[in-house]
Amino acid sequence: EDKVVQSPLSLVVHEGDTVTLNCSYEVTNFRSLLWYKQEKKAPTFLFMLTSSGIEKKSGRLSSILDKKELFSILNITATQTGDSAIYLCAVPGRAAGNKLTFGGGTRVLVKP
Amino acid sequence: GAVVSQHPSRVICKSGTSVKIECRSLDFQATTMFWYRQFPKQSLMLMATSNEGSKATYEQGVEKDKFLINHASLTLSTLTVTSAHPEDSSFYICSARSGTGDPYEQYFGPGTRLTVT
């Protein structure tokens, strides 16, 4: 059974701080890892990672994958209150439909 | 971009009644739709996968007779919570995948918050 574990469960930072979120996985036939941001409604897509060591960047967010150690990190620099959300990572399985297995999420609260 | 809608966004019903939630792909054909449930402060848990025109595949522990899923067209899937109980109160989210896009790319609906009193 595919497994995705995120850490920490939650963290509180102040505006301007940098946060690093972790996602480790155990997946049969790994193909990709996805990061999502969830505020009050449904998750919004952030990144899809397929190759080790290649950083993906979008503004103040970046992410990298280590396929040897089976983990990914998501970094947020110069945090803003609008970054407060639950961050989810997920991996698609090899079952029909490529269903996603989600980690438990990391709840980030950015205080002014 | 691909848009998925859900209706209703919020519903309150009495214990023992049934509730139907609709999930629509607005600008693409969704060959596969997924239904998730999310309890407060928890992650998304996949309930079932449905392919257009065929029976849904339910995850272990999800009662298929309680959570009826119909995916009758390429743009619409419905989830019916039958004989709802307070413990069914949750945030239900659907996602849809097209047959032509990246196989891992799912577009999420905005979710439906169900409260059973």
In this predicted structure, the answer to whether residue B94 has a pLDDT above a threshold of 70 is: yes
Share of chain A above pLDDT 90, in %: 71
Q: Is the Cα torsion angle A102, A103, A107, A108 positive or negative in sign?
A: negative
Interface of A with B in 27-66 (CB under 8 A): 31-32, 34, 41-45, 48
User: Best of A9, A99, A107, A109 to disrupt the B interface by mutation (most B CBs within 10 Å)?
Assistant: A99
Question: In angstroms, rounded to a whole number, what is the distance separating the alpha carbons of residues B86 and A59?
Answer: 42
Instruction: Decide: residue A75, CB within 10 A, 0-12 exposed, 13-18 middle, 19+ buried.
Output: middle
CB atoms within 10 A of CB B45: 16
At CB < 8 Å, which residues of chain B contact A? 32, 34, 41-46, 49, 51, 57, 93, 95, 97, 102-106, 108-111
Mean pLDDT value across chain A: 91
> Taking residues B52-67, what's their average pLDDT?
90
State how far residue A43 is from chain B, nearest Cα, in angstroms. 7
Place B109 in a pLDDT band, splitting at 50, 70 and 90: very high
Which of residues B101 and A36 earns the better pLDDT score? Answer: A36
pLDDT at position B66 over 70: yes
Q: What is the pLDDT of chain B when averaged over all its residues?
A: 90
Compute the distance between CA of residue B63 and CA of residue B56 in angstroms, rounded to an integer.
12
B32/A102 touch (CB, cutoff 8 Å), yes or no: no
Matching residue, tokens 């995120």: A6
Which two structure tokens, joined as six digits, stand for A39?
A: 């505020």
Dihedral of CA atoms B4, A97, A51, A25 in degrees, nearest 10, equals: 100
Residue B1 confidence (pLDDT): 65
Bridge partner residues of A88 (DSSP): A36
- Span B43-69, average pLDDT: 91
Q: Are B92 and B34 in contact (CB under 8 A)?
A: no
| pLDDT tens, position by position, A88-103 | 999 987 655 567 889 9
